[in-house]
Amino acid sequence: MAKHKNSLFAAGVAANPSRLYFSDTLDPTTWTGGTSGSIDIDPDDGDRITGIVSHKNELIVFKGPNRLSVHRITGSAPTGADAFARVPFVAGVGSINQNGLFRINDDLVFPSPRGLHSLAATAAFGDYVEAFLARPILSYYQDEINHTVLNTCWGTNYQARGLAVWTFAPSGTTTKSVYLVYDYRFQPGRWASWGRTGSYVNANCLSVLQVAGRKHTLFAGTAGGYVHQLNVSDRSIAGGTAYTGDVQTPFLNFGTSAIKKGTHSGYWSFTPKGAATFTFEYTRDSNAAQAVTLTQGGGNVLG
């Protein structure tokens, strides 16, 4: 999904893998009627939409994983003189998935089965090797990365350090234990790898979060369901310790304190949902804490 021009755009319907949907204007919950609609993007090319992102006043749409292509959605509204329209951008290059696609400075970077790319360089050179962001490490990318699970890669912009970081599974395993790191502070950029010796935490996903002191820090989520802070001298190994969340409501004014009142129910939910049992503990004023065990069933995140 991607927000663009007062609408929410989405793709990924299995029955229509090349169809780009957009919601009603200013209403991301309405997908039928109003100004909602769809755009078919080369439905007979054997590929599917693998990534969408709003960039420089246009919506950029990626297709893969076979022929590979990039398309531009121009226009500002569903209808009218400036209606949405598809403009082919380049063939032979395209993103393998949405999670490896992100922005650095005023450019987009993305992984494909052929390498790692920059949208700006692709615009200048097309699908030639000169356009590859990862040109210095192409042999490593082709020979040392497991391409059967390439679509599970994850990337993020660690802007505080000037690094674009992707996590991949090396050949012979499906565990994403290798980080390919592009240092874009230099021109041309410089490449490095983390985790080749097994000393770095395996990462199913990556994210940059703001921690105490408003410091932006790189985190990795593991297959076991734990989150690790990276780029620190000491890292703890996750065991059986539960996550503890502390939520405090704002002051709720129920009127005069001379009238006794009671709370009827409380509500707590997680997104995305996972099949888990957790403890909900609450404290009323100065009373002792009370705990309730709750069981949450797993669910389809996209409904």
pLDDT in tens, 223-251: 777 888 887 766 555 666 666 667 777 77
Output the six-digit token pair for 170: 């090396």
Are 28 and 8 in contact by the 8 Å Cβ rule? The answer is: yes
Q: What value does the mean pLDDT take over residues 2-10?
A: 95
Cα separation, 99 vs 97, in Å, equals: 6
Report the pLDDT averaged over residues 5-29: 95
Per-residue pLDDT, averaged over 146-169, amounts to: 94
**Residue 55: predicted pLDDT:** 93
- Mean of per-residue pLDDT scores for the chain: 86
Q: State the pairing for strand pair 19-22/37-40.
A: antiparallel
Distance of alpha carbon 167 from alpha carbon 150, whole angstroms: 10
Section 148-173 average pLDDT? 94
- Where residue 282 falls among pLDDT bands split at 50, 70, 90? confident
Give dist(CA 215, CA 98) in Å, integer: 26
The pLDDT tens digits for 110-131 are 999 989 999 988 887 666 666 6
The pLDDT of residue 299: 64
Answer whether residue 285 shows pLDDT above 60.
yes
Pick the closest to residue 158 from 227, 117, 233, 102 (CA basis): 102
The whole-number pLDDT of residue 215 equals 86
Rounded average pLDDT over 4-15 = 94
Given a cut of 70, whether residue 182 has pLDDT beyond it is yes
Per-residue pLDDT, averaged over 201-214, amounts to 87
Residue 7: predicted pLDDT:
94
Predicted local distance difference test score (pLDDT) of residue 185: 93
Q: State which H helix or E strand residue 138 sits in.
A: helix 138-144
Of residues 232 and 287, more confidence is placed in 287
- pLDDT of 78 > 70? The answer is yes
Residue 218 has a pLDDT of: 92
Per-residue pLDDT, 238: 63
What pTM did the predictor assign? 0.76
- Please report the pLDDT score of residue 254 as a whole number: 81
Band the pLDDT of 300: cuts 50, 70, 90: low
Q: Which residues contact 208 (CB under 8 A, 6 or more apart)?
A: 156, 157, 158, 159, 160, 216, 217, 218, 219
Q: Write down the pLDDT at residue 242.
A: 63
The whole-number average pLDDT for the span 67-79 is: 93
Q: What span, in angstroms and rounded, lies between the C-alpha atoms of 22 and 58?
A: 14
128: Cβ–Cβ under 8 A, 6 or more apart, which residues? none
Distances (CA, A) of 88 to 123, 160, 166: 12, 34, 27
Distances (CA, A) of 249 to 232, 246, 266, 282: 33, 10, 11, 11
Checking if the pLDDT of 156 tops 90, the result is yes
- What percent of the chain lies above the pLDDT cut of 70? 88
**Is pLDDT at 175 greater than 60 in this prediction?**
yes
Half-sphere exposure of 250 (CA within 13 A, CB side): 1
Spans of all domains in the chain: 1-92
85: Cα separation from own chain's centroid? 26
Given a cut of 80, is residue 199 above it in pLDDT?
A: no
